[in-house]
Amino acid sequence: MVRQYRMTAGLLALAFGVGYFAGREAPVAAQSNRLLEIRTYVTPDKAGLDALVTRMRSESKIFDRLGMKSVAYLVAAEPPKSDNTFIYILSHQNREVAKENWSKFGADPEWKELRSSSAPTGQLKIESVFVNPTDFSPVK
């Protein structure tokens, strides 16, 4: 099931590379109206990853409804991370809008129902990093 969601290792490296390099003093003039959030979820095992991918199908629709722009949903391509690592990237106008978006999301009744009915197995480790696209990043 997860196999159909795997992307190349290069794409995964790109997501982490953007987070690392964009945190520096990179030129952002052409992209100043966009802030990317890279969220990495690590599950205890493959069953947890499968449950998370299933839940994210529904969760992504809530993001869209609330105006949280999805950029990509990714599963690590190579073992051992391919058994437990899920990454997604959201686009926000700025940090304040991101904060408002997450506040709306946390209060959303559909999200509350989804969270209580489809919790992935085991404890999730979640990391979030906000990055600024450079002036040579593709506009999407």
Residues 83-88, mean pLDDT to the nearest whole number:
96
The mean predicted confidence, pLDDT, of the chain is 80
| Domains, in order of start, for the chain | 2-131 (3.30.70.100)
What count of residues does the chain have?
A: 140
The string of pLDDT tens digits covering residues 97-110 is: 999 999 999 999 99
- pTM for the full predicted model: 0.74
Q: Are 2 and 78 in contact (CB under 8 A)?
A: no
- DSSP E strand boundaries for 83-138: 85-92, 125-131
DSSP state of 68: -
Cis peptide bond upstream of 120, omega within 30: no
Decide if pLDDT at 17 tops 90: no
DSSP state of 109: H
CA distance 58 to 114: 8
Q: What angle do CA 73, 70, 125 make, to 5 degrees?
A: 50
The pLDDT value given to residue 102: 96
